[in-house]
Amino acid sequence: MATFPDRGREQGKTFTKQLIIIVTGEYLHNVKLGTCESLYYTTYDQLKNWQVSGKDEFLKLDSGYRFRFPFPDEKNKIGDYDDYNRGWSITIPKGIFTMNHGKKFLRTDSDLNIKNAVPMGFYVDCPTTIKAYRWNNEGNESYEIVQQKFCTDEETGDPMLQTVFRCPYCGELARANVTEAKAISDYLSEQSKQIEKHDPQKAEYLIKIAITIINGYLIKEAI
């Protein structure tokens, strides 16, 4: 019978001479928090406020763990998120946020729908890094808000919950520094004002996202 530790990573536990069960993930009191450095199933505040032992390793400054972004519409319990790798899409002006993009793996049969040929796979550069055709939103870029990371800011040396963004094309992740976070938060706030009359619900959500982003960079005041 498998037994899980109260905390930490479990990879490869032998139960009999003939049977080896591989369990991957980050667990705390038998509740899965995530996989490797991505704690998909808990926000930073949720874990901090959970009255259990063994959580300190995950909450340490510069531990390397990335926490689920506290989306305003989510009221889930720790370990109880269906869309574990959720990303909330934003479109922002070029230049206010940068990341090093990667490559995307494509298959000819599934991704390109080429059926009457031998299947092949290949890597292509992220469309954001090459001259790609655009049909709208010229001058803007799209990203997804996915996580927060408790780390020391390179600009100020202060501890912060920095927002982690994901490229929807290549899947690369990058944290926003203080300057970028403020610019993104300000832009979302301005967008909220522009749509407030005809879409008040979305406008309210934008404001909540903007506040959540910038509040992470003020965390030093609450430590």
Query: Residue with structure tokens 């939103």?
Result: 137
State the pLDDT confidence band at 12, using cuts at 50, 70 and 90. Answer: very low
pLDDT tens digits, one per residue of 47-79: 999 999 999 999 999 999 999 999 999 999 999
**pLDDT cut 90: percent of the chain above it:** 65
Q: What pTM value is reported for the model?
A: 0.82
104 has a pLDDT exceeding 60: yes
Q: Are 83 and 67 in contact (CB under 8 A)?
A: no
Alpha-carbon gap, residue 35 to 15, rounded angstroms: 22
Q: How far apart are CA 104 and CA 172, in angstroms?
A: 10
Residue 202: pLDDT over 60: yes
Compute the CA torsion angle 195, 200, 205, 208 (nearest 10 deg): 90
Q: Hunting for tokens 């290949």 — which residue is that? A: 122
Query: Would you say residue 36 has pLDDT above 80?
Result: yes
Residue-level pLDDT at 138: 72
What distances in angstroms separate CA 18 from CA 23, 70, 218, one per listed residue? Answer: 16, 43, 53
